[in-house]
Amino acid sequence: MAATVSGATRPEALAREAPAGRPTAWWGMVLFIVTEATLFASLFVAYFYLRFRAAPEWPLGGIETPKLAKPLVMTALLLPSSLPVIWADRAIRKGQIARLRIGLATTIVMGLGFLALFASEYAEKLPKFTPRTNVYGSLFYAITGFHGFHVTVGLLILGWLLVGSLRGHYDERRHLRVQLGAMYWHFVDLIWVAIMLIVYIGPHL
């Protein structure tokens, strides 16, 4: 009996009994991202539906076609910001805490730069049209504002991870939270690509 218990509690035996596959938290983040992506998809469908109903006039009410210079700079800041997060995620898997901190801090700075330009964009557009001006204004601010909110949440998550790294919460065995934060940030970046193509470039086509 003792031999049986001893054999069943050996490290290799316990490893075989350990749950396989992704952690529950990973699947939770995937489900959350799918839910948020569905909300964005609904907004995009509404945008296309109303745009084609209003064709050939779009934007409506004499609102000028979105300028591309500032959104392109915003894109140049936000899209590459995923690279330091990838670097940070890979670094902590190897126990490289300093690289984790550098990667997170770099992405935070780039994200803050994006938000600063985002606020500047709103400051320019709000005197010209608001969400109450017409359906175009409602959709423009709903889509871009919803994304700006997600960027803000993403920065708060990354800031929380950075503070955790400074307190020694992560190492090569404890890094799931970093992975989840990186997943969310990549989602924020991909949604911006869709917004850039649909909301900013689309009216020029």
Q: Residue 63: CB partners within 8 Å, gap ≥ 6?
A: 128, 129, 133, 134, 136, 137
Name all domains of the chain by residue range, CATH numbers in brackets.
31-204 (1.20.120.80)
59: left (phi over 0), alpha (psi -120 to 50) or beta: beta
- Residue whose pair of structure tokens reads 């699947």 in the numeric block: 27
Which runs of consecutive H residues, i.e. helices, occur in the chain?
Answer: 2-8, 11-17, 24-54, 69-78, 82-93, 97-125, 135-166, 176-195
Query: What pTM does this model have?
Result: 0.89
What pLDDT, in 10s, does the model give residues 31-72?
999 999 999 999 999 999 999 998 889 999 999 999 999 999
Q: Is 170 exposed, middle or buried (0-12, 13-18, 19+ CB in 10 A)?
A: buried
What pLDDT, in 10s, does the model give residues 94-132?
999 999 999 999 999 999 999 999 999 999 999 999 999
Kindly state the percentage of the chain with pLDDT values over 70: 90
Q: What would the two tokens of residue 126 be?
A: 């709000």
Q: Which of 143, 175, 20 is nearest to 71 (CA)?
A: 143
